[in-house]
Amino acid sequence: MKFLSFMIMVAYILVSSLRISIANDSMNVLQSMSDGVSLVSKGGKFEFGFFSPGYSQKRYVGIWYKNIPIQTVVWVANKANPINDSSGIITLNSTGNLVLTQNAYLVWYTNNSHKQAQNPVVVLLDSGNLVIKNEEETDPEVCLWQSFDYPSDTLLPGMKLGRNIRTGHEWKLTSWENPNDPSPGDIYRVLELYNYPELYVMKGKKKVYRSGPWNGLYFSGLPYLQNNTIFGYNFVSNKDEIYFTFSLLNNFVIERTVVNQTGIVYRYVWLEGDHNWTMHRSYPKEFCDNYGLCGAYGNCIINQTQGCQCLKGFSPKSPQAWASSDWSQGCVRNKPLSCNGEHKDGFVKFEGLKVPDTTQTWLDKTIGLEECRVKCLNNCSCMAYSNSDIRGAGSGCVMWYGDLIDMRQFETGGQGLHIRMSASESEPEDGHERNTPTIVASTIAAICGALLISSYFICRNRRNNAVTNYSKDKSEKDIDLPTFDFSFISNATNDFSQSEKLGQGGFGSVYKGILPDGQEIAVKRLSKTSGQGLDEFKNEVMLIAKLQHRNLVKLLGCSIQQDEKLLIYEFMPNRSLDYFIFDSTRHTLLGWTKRFEIIGGIARGLLYLHQDSRLKIIHRDLKTSNVLLDSNMNPKISDFGMARTFGLDQDEANTNRVMGTYGYMPPEYVVHGSFSVKSDVFSFGVIVLEIISGKKNRAFYDPHHHLNLLGHAWRLWIEKRPTELMDDLVDNSACPSEIIRYIHIGLLCVQQRPEDRPNMSSVTLFLNGEKLLPEPNQPGFYTGKAHPTKPNSSSRNIDVYSFNEMSNSLLEPR
């Protein structure tokens, strides 16, 4: 290596006096490139030279699209070694190595030490590939070095993801640290060479997402690829190399696939006549794409209320955790395997699956499915088998060992998997497959889990002589939850001691409690003088008892005794969101990545309430203090005392009793008592802007413009200074464009007119970057000037009231 470096420096000195400025698609050893000079591919598609990413002033050498107005870099040479000024020089030496120097110091170079160079040239091709080859060589596949062998964060048509088995060289995508810094991040997309290879997105050593193995037609986890008309896919596996690549089927499309620092792989397209990139696909895209979400033998079903279901023949390992949407422990068999015992095991075929993680697999492409079944049956460690190639009647054999992890169900497409089961649960071995799918959305298991939880609490209360039977009271018959004796909960909270008090609200106080078995709980004790009477209490119990979502707080039980009304919840160790973001010290503990995750979690919880649960529910009191944080700082929406159910065909309702919290209620509710799903959207938008700014909407006041936080955010937006809204004491790891996107979404949600606000399904698409954002109109309670590019926007925002001038008689504060 030292000798090679020495030779590179010698070659640099020899050609330094012969540098010639160039501006075509190639460069030879007599030429050089300084900052400001570039190579352009023959067809004018790509450019190679010096650039500065995002807001950075540092200089890098890379490749970008030439004719796309938004500079889009696809490859970077000196990713971890930037140049601080414009003194960089690129040369090609006689050994066939490209060299980047600054003031005669070596910054970066290619490492071609194995191939002999004869009159080398470097050429930028219209594919975006920068190649070094011998000048006389006409075969584009024969080169001394090529940039396609050293991907950055972008996969272009013709590039490979995989490994050269002969040399051990790996082709993988690695994220930039952030949009202003192309140095390698900790997210990468790689083809893992298990016996049955598959593509993964990794964060360090942790698996984030996998596409499933290639089954001859598509990746098992991406069944829609088989009907694609834009891209052609190819998976190559031979003794020399294993890799995945793609090609474009239409010349009018430009495409790139990018893995970014958030752990998401985006596929972007640019069509003729477009003015911006359009996101075509992203992975992980859906709830069920998260790696290992449902644990062993769990199956994720995207359109089910309980997202994870145990496969038929399996039950939750921890029914209590399962019912609270913690599926990480997975499922266990209902009946044990006997293997070679008296009653031999058999198999059940499950259809339409993303097949399990292939870390522990065995592959034989030469045998068929029947021989595969026999081999698996005779090996006690084999838990499942399938065809490795599903084309035609299917061929090849793949067998899984150990627990089956990371499966999901598809409505169309997917793959068949034969899972080992006890003899009494397996299919008859008559050589005929059952025609009906045997995968069942195990609703029974979820119900049983909920019943087990109820039994657990009831039995424990009986052991403590603390259960009270309320069945005689008709007003309490509808509460289908474990009921607790008041004295039992009083003991758990140390007689509702001030030292156990977690918080105070308009309807009462919340206390921490510890049950005799050590379980921590949170107890909401409603004030006897509060506005929340028995109707609101029952409303909260009835609603939340029927809801199951990882972003909603789980209700464990209740108590109505001695004129006391108690709600017993799962305990959230990190309290509420406002405890962090509005505190001068604690807010630094929530970095941008976590803040974005919290916003996404709240959005998913609201979407579930509005659209995906069995009921259509309007929360009506969404605010930062009602967003609780678990031990991993994951958000959970709480406090459903004011929530209302809607009919599926109902869009709006009115009330004469306006109740809520200053700063989070939309204008139509405050003034007219009208509420809908768009009321919650407004509250969500306020929370987004509060999370971004670290400021309370209600407490913020701009003395120069007499604006609250919403008005301040809008003013910065129309003055094109939105990043000034950022909480400046948070880490600087976030991309400014991402911050701006979240501010944009927040402003869309707080628009004056409810019909202008997006619904939560659109909001979740916005947050995932899957939908272009429309331009926002003025927010509610805004009294400043209109958008300069929208002279008529103020006429659209009717009933604009100043929040500070509003009559308190309109509200019943909490």
For the chain, report the end-to-end CA distance as a whole number of angstroms: 71
Look up residue 726 and give its two tokens: 């950022």
Return the H-helix or E-strand segment holding 524: strand 520-526
Whose tokens are 């807001």? That residue is 55
**Marked catalytic residue, from 621, 639, 680, 727:** 621
CA pair distance 556, 553, nearest whole angstrom: 10
Please report which residue ranges of 281-408 form alpha helices under DSSP H: 319-323, 369-377
438: left (phi over 0), alpha (psi -120 to 50) or beta: alpha
- Report long-range pairs for 11-16 (Cβ below 8 Å, ≥24 apart): 11/91, 11/93, 11/94, 11/95, 11/99, 12/91, 12/93, 12/99, 12/101, 12/104, 12/106, 13/104, 15/91, 15/93, 16/91
CA pair distance 557, 541, nearest whole angstrom: 8
Return the H-helix or E-strand segment holding 716: helix 709-718
Q: Shortest CA distance to 812 belongs to which of 673, 679, 696, 683?
A: 673
Binding residues for ATP: 524
292: left (phi over 0), alpha (psi -120 to 50) or beta: left
CA pair distance 78, 708, nearest whole angstrom: 46
Look up residue 755 and give its two tokens: 């019909």
Binding residues: 524
Instruction: List C-alpha distances in Å: 622 to 361, 502, 527, 660, 661.
Output: 48, 19, 20, 9, 9
CA pair distance 748, 729, nearest whole angstrom: 25
Instruction: List C-alpha distances in Å: 735 to 79, 154, 187, 260.
Output: 17, 18, 16, 11
When computed from its CA atoms, the radius of gyration of the chain, rounded to whole angstroms, is: 31
CA pair distance 791, 802, nearest whole angstrom: 21
Are 93 and 29 a contacting pair, CB within 8 Å? yes
CA pair distance 712, 701, nearest whole angstrom: 8
Q: Shortest CA distance to 288 belongs to which of 439, 438, 406?
A: 406
Query: Which residues, 6 or more positions from 215, have their beta carbon under 8 angstroms from its beta carbon?
Result: 355, 387, 388, 389, 390, 415
CA pair distance 602, 627, nearest whole angstrom: 8
Catalytic annotation present for 621 = yes
Half-sphere exposure of 98 (CA within 13 A, CB side): 23
Within 327-414, strands assigned E span: 331-333, 346-354, 361-364, 382-386, 397-401, 407-409
CA pair distance 521, 542, nearest whole angstrom: 19
- Report long-range pairs for 275-283 (Cβ below 8 Å, ≥24 apart): 275/69, 276/70, 276/772, 277/70, 277/72, 278/772, 279/769, 279/770, 280/230, 280/255, 282/768, 282/769, 282/770, 283/201, 283/209, 283/211, 283/222
Which residues form the catalytic set? 621
